[in-house]
Amino acid sequence: MTTAFKERSKSSPWRKVGCAPWEAGIFSGTTPAASTTFNPVRLPNVWFSASLNERTETKATYQLNPSVRLTIEWPEGEPDWCRPIVRNLAEILALPEGWNSYGAKPVNLYAAVDAIGVLSTIMPLDGPLPQVVPTSPGGVQLEWHKGGVDLEIVIKPSNPIHVSFEDQRNKASWEGDLGADRSQLKNILQELARR
């Protein structure tokens, strides 16, 4: 039984999220080939499998914790940033309540899934990896600090996604809730890849 369902942007390689207590699944708008097979690979703390169908889409499954499996269909193939980010998310999802010794909540599964969704819409192929940090209310914060640029994206379980940006070189800064147009964030990350 699905406990949550969310629609996402058409510019993203994923369209729907359904999370049950035992599974989180992300599916693109296309149906995978019937001949798709999985070859599991065991890595420390995170389980991955991936396969390629005849349309050169990659379907990858990630084990976020013992009871949650995340499946993503990547239309252009799995990006290099995905596995390191999933590993980091799996680590912070394992944090217990009170992990910061001040009563912090455990990281919310939906915030972790949303973090992957946000990254899928903004990360260039050669973009720098963000730091993945838990927040005390149970959210996820993605941070880039490079070349005088500070970019932070805060994903809380039930609030709008918040972004703050500062470029010390150009003396530019802004902050606000993340909207449907993510081109500005894409441009920032492309610039960070060049710095």
Q: What is the pLDDT of residues 47-94, one digit of tens each?
A: 444 444 444 457 778 877 777 778 887 777 788 888 899 999 999 999
- What is the pLDDT, as a whole number, of residue 134? 97
DSSP 3-state of 65 = strand
How many structural domains is the chain composed of? 1
Cα–Cα distance for residue pair 176/163, rounded to 1 Å: 5
C-alpha distance from residue 142 to each of 86, 116, 187 (Å) = 12, 10, 16
- What is the pLDDT, as a whole number, of residue 57? 59
The residue range of the domain holding 48 is: 5-194
What predicted TM-score, i.e. pTM, was given to this entire model? 0.72
Q: Which residues pair with 17 in a beta bridge?
A: 6, 26
pLDDT digits (tens, 9 = 90+) for 104-122: 999 998 899 899 989 989 9
Q: Mean pLDDT across the stretch 26-33?
A: 31
